[in-house]
Copies of this chain bind each other. A is one copy, B any other.
Amino acid sequence: MSELESVIRKLEALDHRITPSRVAVIASVLAQSGHFSVEDVLRQARAVGRATVFRTMRLLTDLDVVCRVLLDDGSLHYRVSRRGHHHHLVCVSCGNARDLDECAVGDLVRELAAATEYEIEGHWLEFYGRCAACRSPVAVAARA
């Protein structure tokens, strides 16, 4: 079963209709490498209306097919998610994003809940930095 088919099965399982627009958006999303913006998808799925692309991205986020990546300039990107809840480390120079192995604040959430009496429902966590390639002298020289 292709990845596309498997996403379609997920939609069906939750009683969402399989429409050509949705299939086009999903195909475009699955074809992206790294993180991408809604505009990237819009550009590739020209026939699909703007509102539908946004609606489908929300749907895919809810289904955990994609995860959201908050860039350091404040813009929101997406990334195909092949795992559960996790966070990202984004290179501010080349834009490359790494998925971090696990959510590192789980313990912290429990401590916080105990200390503050809040019921903690969620969190945002993103790391920004410069990857090894972008810090190498060669890369530095090439940019100069």
Q: Which of B113, B121, B122, B130 touches A118 (beta carbons < 8 Å)? A: B130
Give this chain's copy count. 2
Within 8 A of B (CB), among A100-144: 100, 104-105, 108-109, 112-113, 116-132, 135
- Tell me which residues across on chain B come within 8 A of A74, comparing CB atoms: 76
* Contact status B127-A123, CB under 8 Å: yes
Total residues of chain A contacting the partner, CB 8 A: 33
* Contact status B120-A89, CB under 8 Å: yes
* Contact status B118-A131, CB under 8 Å: yes
* Contact status A125-B125, CB under 8 Å: yes
The minimal Cβ–Cβ distance linking A23 to chain B, given in whole angstroms, is: 27
Q: Which of B70, B121, B126 touches A129 (beta carbons < 8 Å)? A: B121
- Tell me which residues across on chain B come within 8 A of A105, comparing CB atoms: 104-105, 125
* Contact status B122-A128, CB under 8 Å: yes
Report how far A98 CA is from B105 CA in the complex, Å.
17
The minimal Cβ–Cβ distance linking A138 to chain B, given in whole angstroms, is: 15
- Tell me which residues across on chain B come within 8 A of A53, comparing CB atoms: none
- Tell me which residues across on chain B come within 8 A of A127, comparing CB atoms: 109, 112, 118, 120, 122-123
* Contact status A124-B125, CB under 8 Å: yes
Q: Which of B112, B113, B128 touches A123 (beta carbons < 8 Å)? A: B128
Chain A interface (Cβ within 8 Å of chain B)?
70, 72, 74, 76, 89, 91-92, 98, 100, 104-105, 108-109, 112-113, 116-132, 135
